[in-house]
Amino acid sequence: HPSNVQMEGGSVLERANCRAKGGAPGFKVAILGAAGGIGQPLAMLMKMNPLVSVLHLYDVVNAPGVTADISHMDTGAVVRGFLGQPQLDAALTGMDLVIIPAGVPRKPGMTRDDLFKINAGIVKTLCEGIARCCPNAIVNLISNPVNSTVPIAAEVFKKAGTYDPKRLLGVTMLDVVRANTFVAEVLGLDPREVSVPVVGGHAGVTILPLLSQVKPPCSFTKEETEYLTKRIQDGGTEVVQAKAGAGSATLSMAYAAVKFADRCLKGLRGDADIVECAFIESRVTELPFFATRVRLGRTGVEEIYQLGPLNEYERVGLEEAKKELAESIEKGVSFIRK
């Protein structure tokens, strides 16, 4: 049984399927790793998104339970659950957007790179499924280390002959969300009024907030710059330590993932001026992948913005970020090529 919902009886399912097919405008979205710490609140928030008509929840454990639970929400999206590898292809077929928070999270003392061994294989398997079943879907990759898993996904898609760099996005939105929050705190503003570009990658020093480009325009002392940069870079570790072994950021990540996915769907719908930061294939630096602001549209990433003017502090940070990023990218690429 793909899920409890589908076990409830033909007529209910048929009507739901009919509604899903029947012209109600909306996108089909799959979440891979939907029963996890991020996956569950992410599934709940996506079920609340009016742009979603069909929501597929895939995991290797507990997908039927989460699906039954979420499916009782009286919002528009039809929810279907898929459990384990044999149901991966069914979960993916026909999807417009695939969000991947599958994989193990950090415990205190671990870096994101320590997760590579387990998560690299998980991401490889899931991306092989995407190449088979929904090669035109937009992919939002959350599983860490993002700096390596995005290159892994790219290599898998290249091997399958389905790679389109415009449709593969590493999710760095949580870094932006944190940056907006922490900067707003320092400025005494409402975080909703603040926009901080965060470039580079998604781990430690590769997370490079461009505080000289904050909107609304403002300036920071040297101490404020150092405090904010470090707090944004270590935001994930702050949560890992506070959870003391129970995992990493899940709720703020689910929020950030939905914020990002919603922007991708608005781009797909054809809305104008959808600009967000994401870790993508890029020529902005000499590295093959880099996070910058990008414009999202009907085909995914439609424009990649340059870094803009950096101050001295940011230029030094950029060099440091590139060194670590180059190694993480290479590690991901060689995991598939070797």
Q: How many CA atoms lie within 13 A of 147 on its CB side?
A: 26
Please pick, from the candidates 53, 140, 237, 248, the single residue that binds ligand NAI as defined by CB under 6 A: 248
Query: Total residues contacting ligand NAI (rule CB under 6 A)?
Result: 33
Separation of alpha carbons 147 and 150, rounded Å: 6
Does residue 250 interact with ligand NAI by CB under 6 A?
A: yes
Separation of alpha carbons 192 and 329, rounded Å: 33
DSSP letters spanning 204-244:
GGGEEE-GGG-BS-----HHHHHHHHHHHHTHHHHHHHHHT
Nearest to 93 by CA among 44, 138, 43, 135: 135
Quote the DSSP letter at residue 140: E
Does residue 261 interact with ligand NAI by CB under 6 A?
A: no
Nearer to ligand NAI, 125 or 241 (CB): 125
Least distance from C-beta 172 to ligand NAI, angstroms? 7
Does residue 297 interact with ligand NAI by CB under 6 A?
A: no
Q: Within positions 15 to 74, which residues make up the interface with ligand NAI, using CB under 6 A?
A: 32-33, 35-39, 59-61
Separation of alpha carbons 299 and 302, rounded Å: 7
Q: Label residue 224 left, alpha or beta by phi (over 0 means left) and psi (-120 to 50 means alpha).
A: alpha
Does residue 247 interact with ligand NAI by CB under 6 A?
A: yes
Please pick, from the candidates 91, 92, 98, 146, the single residue that binds ligand NAI as defined by CB under 6 A: 146
Catalytic positions, please? Answer: 202
Nearer to ligand NAI, 49 or 144 (CB): 144
Least distance from C-beta 96 to ligand NAI, angstroms? 19
Nearer to ligand NAI, 60 or 326 (CB): 60
Please give the sequence-ordered ranges of beta strands (E in DSSP) within 101-228, or none if there are none: 138-141, 168-170, 198-200, 207-209
Does residue 253 interact with ligand NAI by CB under 6 A?
A: yes
Nearer to ligand NAI, 39 or 297 (CB): 39
The residue range among 9-17, 118-126, 209-217, 282-290 that interacts with ligand NAI, by the rule CB under 6 A, is 118-126
Nearer to ligand NAI, 16 or 32 (CB): 32
Q: Give whole-number Cα distances, 52 to 97, 99, 170, 270, in Å.
A: 10, 13, 21, 15
Is the Cβ–Cβ distance between 202 and 291 less than 8 Å? yes
Report the residue closest to ligand NAI, judged by CB: 36
Nearest to 278 by CA among 208, 222, 338, 198: 198
Q: Within positions 161 to 220, which residues make up the interface with ligand NAI, using CB under 6 A?
A: 171, 174, 202
Residue with tokens 């998560």: 119
The binding site for ligand NAI (CB under 6 A) comprises: 32-33, 35-39, 59-61, 101-106, 115, 119, 122, 125-126, 142-144, 146, 171, 174, 202, 247-250, 253
